[in-house]
Amino acid sequence: MRREEKEVIIQDLTDKFNNNPYFYITDANGMTVAKTNKFRRMCFERGVDYQVVKNTLIRKALEALEMDYSSFNDTVLTGFSGIMFHSESGKAPASLIKDFLRENKESIKLKGASIDGGLYIGHDQLDALTTIKSKDEVIGDIIGLLQSPAKNVIGALQGGGHKLAGILKTLSEKEAA
Protein backbone atom coordinates (compact mmCIF):
# COMPACT_ATOMS: atom_id res chain seq x y z
CA MET A 1 0.00 0.00 0.00
CA ARG A 2 1.40 3.38 -0.99
CA ARG A 3 1.81 6.24 1.44
CA GLU A 4 -0.91 8.30 -0.28
CA GLU A 5 -3.39 5.43 0.10
CA LYS A 6 -2.54 5.12 3.78
CA GLU A 7 -3.06 8.86 4.31
CA VAL A 8 -6.49 8.64 2.67
CA ILE A 9 -7.46 5.72 4.93
CA ILE A 10 -6.19 7.55 8.03
CA GLN A 11 -8.15 10.69 7.10
CA ASP A 12 -11.29 8.63 6.42
CA LEU A 13 -10.95 6.87 9.79
CA THR A 14 -10.32 10.17 11.59
CA ASP A 15 -13.52 11.59 10.06
CA LYS A 16 -15.48 8.50 11.09
CA PHE A 17 -14.11 8.66 14.65
CA ASN A 18 -15.05 12.36 14.86
CA ASN A 19 -18.56 11.81 13.43
CA ASN A 20 -19.45 8.66 15.36
CA PRO A 21 -19.51 8.85 19.17
CA TYR A 22 -19.73 5.05 19.29
CA PHE A 23 -17.16 2.65 17.90
CA TYR A 24 -16.02 -0.87 18.70
CA ILE A 25 -12.76 -2.61 17.85
CA THR A 26 -13.07 -6.36 17.45
CA ASP A 27 -10.84 -9.37 16.89
CA ALA A 28 -12.22 -11.74 14.27
CA ASN A 29 -8.99 -13.67 13.81
CA GLY A 30 -10.44 -17.18 13.85
CA MET A 31 -13.44 -16.55 11.60
CA THR A 32 -13.93 -18.40 8.33
CA VAL A 33 -14.90 -16.58 5.15
CA ALA A 34 -18.50 -17.78 5.54
CA LYS A 35 -18.72 -16.49 9.12
CA THR A 36 -17.11 -13.20 8.14
CA ASN A 37 -19.64 -12.73 5.33
CA LYS A 38 -22.49 -13.57 7.70
CA PHE A 39 -21.17 -11.06 10.24
CA ARG A 40 -20.82 -8.35 7.58
CA ARG A 41 -24.38 -9.05 6.39
CA MET A 42 -25.70 -8.68 9.96
CA CYS A 43 -23.80 -5.39 10.30
CA PHE A 44 -25.29 -4.10 7.05
CA GLU A 45 -28.84 -5.12 8.06
CA ARG A 46 -28.53 -3.32 11.41
CA GLY A 47 -26.89 -0.15 10.10
CA VAL A 48 -23.47 -0.85 11.58
CA ASP A 49 -20.46 0.10 9.49
CA TYR A 50 -17.79 -2.62 9.77
CA GLN A 51 -14.35 -2.57 8.21
CA VAL A 52 -11.04 -4.30 8.76
CA VAL A 53 -8.09 -1.92 9.09
CA LYS A 54 -4.43 -2.26 10.04
CA ASN A 55 -3.70 -1.37 13.66
CA THR A 56 -1.06 1.21 12.72
CA LEU A 57 -3.60 3.11 10.63
CA ILE A 58 -6.18 2.97 13.45
CA ARG A 59 -3.55 4.19 15.91
CA LYS A 60 -2.60 7.15 13.69
CA ALA A 61 -6.26 8.08 13.20
CA LEU A 62 -6.90 7.94 16.95
CA GLU A 63 -3.80 10.07 17.63
CA ALA A 64 -5.30 12.79 15.44
CA LEU A 65 -8.29 13.09 17.78
CA GLU A 66 -8.54 15.33 20.84
CA MET A 67 -9.28 12.47 23.25
CA ASP A 68 -6.49 10.27 24.61
CA TYR A 69 -6.80 6.71 23.30
CA SER A 70 -3.28 5.65 24.33
CA SER A 71 -4.73 2.96 26.63
CA PHE A 72 -5.84 1.16 23.44
CA ASN A 73 -2.28 0.90 22.10
CA ASP A 74 -0.96 -2.13 24.01
CA THR A 75 -4.16 -4.08 24.60
CA VAL A 76 -6.66 -3.26 21.87
CA LEU A 77 -4.57 -2.44 18.83
CA THR A 78 -2.87 -5.80 18.47
CA GLY A 79 -3.51 -8.69 16.12
CA PHE A 80 -6.35 -8.62 13.61
CA SER A 81 -8.69 -5.63 14.06
CA GLY A 82 -12.09 -4.77 12.70
CA ILE A 83 -13.89 -1.52 13.53
CA MET A 84 -17.63 -1.17 14.01
CA PHE A 85 -19.21 2.28 13.81
CA HIS A 86 -22.76 3.25 14.74
CA SER A 87 -23.86 6.87 14.85
CA GLU A 88 -27.04 6.51 16.91
CA SER A 89 -26.63 3.79 19.51
CA GLY A 90 -23.78 2.72 21.74
CA LYS A 91 -25.28 -0.68 22.38
CA ALA A 92 -26.24 -1.67 18.82
CA PRO A 93 -22.80 -3.11 17.96
CA ALA A 94 -22.62 -4.91 21.32
CA SER A 95 -26.04 -6.47 20.76
CA LEU A 96 -25.00 -7.49 17.26
CA ILE A 97 -21.83 -9.18 18.57
CA LYS A 98 -23.84 -11.04 21.26
CA ASP A 99 -26.41 -12.18 18.70
CA PHE A 100 -23.65 -13.38 16.37
CA LEU A 101 -21.90 -15.25 19.18
CA ARG A 102 -25.08 -17.21 20.01
CA GLU A 103 -24.74 -19.12 16.74
CA ASN A 104 -20.99 -18.76 16.22
CA LYS A 105 -19.30 -19.47 19.53
CA GLU A 106 -15.73 -18.20 20.00
CA SER A 107 -15.65 -16.52 16.60
CA ILE A 108 -15.37 -12.82 17.38
CA LYS A 109 -14.09 -10.98 20.42
CA LEU A 110 -14.54 -7.43 21.61
CA LYS A 111 -11.13 -5.84 22.11
CA GLY A 112 -12.30 -2.34 23.02
CA ALA A 113 -14.99 0.27 22.57
CA SER A 114 -15.50 4.00 22.92
CA ILE A 115 -18.96 5.16 23.95
CA ASP A 116 -19.34 8.93 24.18
CA GLY A 117 -15.71 9.21 25.22
CA GLY A 118 -15.82 6.38 27.77
CA LEU A 119 -13.35 3.59 27.07
CA TYR A 120 -14.18 -0.08 27.55
CA ILE A 121 -11.37 -2.59 27.16
CA GLY A 122 -11.79 -6.35 26.92
CA HIS A 123 -14.39 -8.89 25.86
CA ASP A 124 -15.72 -9.06 29.43
CA GLN A 125 -17.18 -5.56 28.92
CA LEU A 126 -19.66 -6.85 26.30
CA ASP A 127 -22.48 -7.45 28.81
CA ALA A 128 -22.07 -3.95 30.27
CA LEU A 129 -22.15 -2.43 26.79
CA THR A 130 -25.42 -4.16 25.87
CA THR A 131 -27.17 -2.46 28.81
CA ILE A 132 -25.99 1.07 28.04
CA LYS A 133 -28.86 3.39 27.25
CA SER A 134 -28.65 5.81 24.35
CA LYS A 135 -28.91 9.53 24.94
CA ASP A 136 -32.50 9.51 23.64
CA GLU A 137 -33.46 6.67 26.02
CA VAL A 138 -31.99 8.53 29.00
CA ILE A 139 -33.77 11.74 28.03
CA GLY A 140 -37.03 9.78 27.65
CA ASP A 141 -36.59 8.27 31.12
CA ILE A 142 -35.94 11.70 32.65
CA ILE A 143 -38.97 13.23 30.94
CA GLY A 144 -41.10 10.31 32.14
CA LEU A 145 -39.90 10.81 35.70
CA LEU A 146 -40.56 14.53 35.54
CA GLN A 147 -44.04 14.04 34.08
CA SER A 148 -45.06 11.41 36.59
CA PRO A 149 -45.68 13.76 39.58
CA ALA A 150 -47.51 16.28 37.40
CA LYS A 151 -49.78 13.53 36.04
CA ASN A 152 -50.54 12.37 39.58
CA VAL A 153 -51.49 15.89 40.70
CA ILE A 154 -53.67 16.47 37.64
CA GLY A 155 -55.31 13.07 38.10
CA ALA A 156 -56.03 13.80 41.76
CA LEU A 157 -57.51 17.19 40.95
CA GLN A 158 -59.67 15.79 38.18
CA GLY A 159 -60.75 12.83 40.32
CA GLY A 160 -61.51 15.18 43.22
CA GLY A 161 -63.60 17.38 40.94
CA HIS A 162 -65.79 14.46 39.96
CA LYS A 163 -66.22 13.43 43.59
CA LEU A 164 -67.10 16.98 44.61
CA ALA A 165 -69.69 17.22 41.81
CA GLY A 166 -71.23 13.92 42.94
CA ILE A 167 -71.44 15.10 46.56
CA LEU A 168 -73.08 18.39 45.53
CA LYS A 169 -75.56 16.55 43.32
CA THR A 170 -76.45 14.19 46.18
CA LEU A 171 -76.90 17.10 48.61
CA SER A 172 -79.08 19.03 46.17
CA GLU A 173 -81.27 15.95 45.61
CA LYS A 174 -81.69 15.56 49.40
CA GLU A 175 -82.72 19.21 49.77
CA ALA A 176 -85.26 18.87 46.97
CA ALA A 177 -86.81 15.74 48.49
Domain residue limits, the chain: 3-132, 133-177
How high is the pLDDT of residue 44?
A: 93
The kind and range of the H/E element at 97 are helix 92-103
pLDDT digits (tens, 9 = 90+) for 79-93: 888 999 987 778 889
Residues in the chain, pLDDT under 50? none
The neighbour count for residue 119, using CB atoms within 10 Å, is 15
Correct CATH for 3-132 of 3.40.50.2300, 3.10.180.10, 3.50.50.60, 3.30.70.1730: 3.30.70.1730
**Contacts with 125 (C-beta within 8 Å, 6 or more apart), sequence order:** 110, 113
pTM listed for this prediction: 0.73
Task: Report the candidate in 105, 139, 146 with the shortest Cα–Cα distance to residue 123.
Answer: 105
Q: What are phi and psi of 48, to 5 degrees?
A: -100, 130
**What is the reported pLDDT for 158?**
66
